[in-house]
Copies of this chain bind each other. A is one copy, B any other.
Amino acid sequence: MLIKSEFDIQFHLPFRTPMLAMLHVHPSLEAQLITPERLKVEHAGPAEENEGTTELAVEEYVDRFGNRCSRFVAPPGAIRLTGSSVVNASDTPDLQGFGLPLTPIEELPADVLQFLLPSRYCEVDRLGSIAHDLFGRLSPGWEQAAAIRDWVHERVMFNYNAARPTKTAMDVFTERVGVCRDFQHLAVTLSRCMNIPARYVTGYLGDIRVPYGGPGDFSAWYQVWLGGRWWDMDGRHNEPRLGRILMATGRDAADVAITTSFAVANLTHFYVESNEIDEHGKAVPLPPSQATIQGSVQQHA
């Protein structure tokens, strides 16, 4: 299945601003990229100066987690970050590791051990007893991992207005409301508490063969390490999905911000889309939405 992802993000910058971006697909998808992919950063100076648009030099580097990152310095004015990719993605929904046992600590690859530790938004050191209370009687491994994902999905409500940059897994556990990243932070933390290595993921998750779900955005999910590999998990959209396009992985959202600005940057435009296309590049139509039916059900609730 072909997945075309694209973005157009614009900021107004009052000052000269160094920026970082993690807007590439993940190096592990290199072989599946149908078209070469790049990040284009354009700058337009103050309107009165009428200088037109210039493309800014962008330097690329790979961070310690293996993510492809970009950095550049933008002069004051308007900047625009654009890019697109076509990835030959798997035709199979998220794989399931039913029945996998917990990997003993001593068999974990050295590089995976760090995903057991506490991190900024994942207070493993505070949620340990809570996790054991909730999931300690389940079979270690996939059963626990899936139960954690399901618990988070059922107990936390989605609400865009409940987002805030400092919100941690503990906050999500007590407030039970949040956005994408909040669901994943709580699930990641509870997983690590049960000695299941878990890492935070950003990427594209378009409405692929599911009904239209609203304007596009980047998505967050997470991965757990069991049976010698990472498995995609999603505390918010708790169903096997098609078309996840991995961009970056890290301990938590602190490691994989889409953009980081080292001065004031006012977002002025934000467009992200990720869609299935056919071999001619045309968008594959989505199945009909079931919003009406769901609406009437809710009215009686």
Contacts and interface: CB of A to CB of B under 8 A. Distances in A.
Interface of A: 18, 20, 61-65, 69, 71-73, 104-106, 110-111, 113-114, 117-120, 122-123, 125-127, 129-130, 133, 155, 161-162, 164-166, 170, 173-176, 195, 254-255, 262
13 contacts: A18-B106, A20-B113, A63-B113, A63-B114, A71-B106, A119-B119, A120-B120, A120-B125, A123-B166, A125-B166, A126-B166, A161-B161, A162-B164
Contacts of A69: 110
A69 B170 CA distance: 30
Given A119-B254, A262-B195, A176 B129 contact: yes
A174 B130 contact: yes
Contacts of A20: 113
Q: How many copies does the complex hold?
A: 4
A255 B64 contact: no
B118 A254 contact: yes
Contact of A63 (B110, B126, B173): B110
Given A114-B63, A119-B120, A119-B254, A104 B174 contact: no
Contacts of A195: 262
Given A106-B73, A113-B20, A161-B161, A174 B254 contact: no
A174 B127 contact: yes
A105 B123 CA distance: 29
B129 A174 contact: yes
A97 B89 CA distance: 52
Nearest to A20: B113
A105 B262 contact: yes
Contacts of A111: 64
A208 to B, nearest CB: 31
Contacts of A173: 130
Nearest to A109: B61
B63 A255 contact: no
Given A64-B64, A69-B110, 17 more contacts: A20-B113, A62-B110, A63-B113, A64-B111, A64-B114, A73-B105, A117-B254, A118-B120, A120-B120, A126-B174, A126-B175, A129-B155, A129-B174, A129-B176, A161-B161, A170-B174, A195-B262
